[in-house]
Amino acid sequence: MIAKILVLCCACAAVSAAPGVLDGLGYGVAAPIAHAYAAPAIAAPIAHTYAAPAYAAPVVKAVAAPIIRAEPVDPNPAYSFSYGVADPATGDQKNAAETLQNGVVHGQYSLVEPDGHVRRVTYTADKVNGFNAVVERTGGAHAVAAAPVAVAAPIAKVVAPAPVAVAAPVARYTLPAIGHPWG
């Protein structure tokens, strides 16, 4: 409300300060007084030329794309690896070996099974015959001693499950619409 009054006061002040705005409208303002006013002599317009500032053209640098060279491909790749584990504390024994020569993979691995047998797998693989394996199982003279297993006593009483309680639906509460005090 204060802002509206302030705007109204400013508008009234501007209208009353401007000479001739209310002349001849019947607001009790006197007729305009003739003034002797001599306009100053105005010289002919001066021709101005606009010189744009000199800017250098953007510099374009040619960056050569990196040259990507293909690595040479070995037409007859070859590799060979092997590893082994022998842990007397846990009885873990296993080993593996593999080689690739002239496009044919030859390999073998072996391990000691829990019952004491030794499993040995020997395999070959190539593009013509695929993967072929031969499995051998030898030994088994000693069985791994297992710890005795404790058996729980049978449960004598069967208990039916308790009924499941279902909660009632939750009521939703919304606030009443309140109008804006200045609206």
- 3-49 pLDDT, tens digit each: 888 777 777 776 666 665 555 555 555 555 555 556 666 666 666 66
Given pLDDT bands bounded at 50, 70 and 90, which one contains residue 2?
confident
Residue scoring higher pLDDT (16 or 130): 130
Written as six digits, the tokens of 99 are: 């080689």
- Structural domain containing residue 124: 79-139
Neighbours of 108 (CB within 10 A): 17
Residue 33 lies in a domain: no
Specify the number of domains making up the chain.
1
Residue 101 lies in a domain: yes
Residue 87 lies in a domain: yes
Q: What is the model's pLDDT at position 55?
A: 72
111: exposed, middle or buried (Cβ count in 10 Å: 0-12, 13-18, 19+):
middle
Residue 93 lies in a domain: yes
Q: What is the model's pLDDT at position 149?
A: 46
Percent of the chain having pLDDT more than 90? 25
pLDDT tens for residues 47-91?
A: 666 666 777 777 778 888 888 888 888 888 899 999 999 988 888
Residue 56 lies in a domain: no
CB 107 within 8 A of CB 97: yes
Residue scoring higher pLDDT (49 or 145): 49
Q: What is the DSSP string of 11-64?
A: HHHHHHHSTTSSTTTTSSPPPPPP----PPPPPPPPP----PPP-PPPP----P
**DSSP reduced 3-state for 130:** strand
Residue 51 lies in a domain: no
Stretch (H or E) spanning 171: none
- The answer, yes or no, to whether residue 179 has pLDDT greater than 90, is no
Q: What is the model's pLDDT at position 175?
A: 60
One-letter amino acid at 51 equals A
Residue 120 lies in a domain: yes
* Cα–Cα separations (whole angstroms), residue 7 to 37, 47, 56, 182: 35, 44, 52, 18
Residue 24 lies in a domain: no
Q: What is the pTM of this model?
A: 0.40
CB 94 within 8 A of CB 108: no
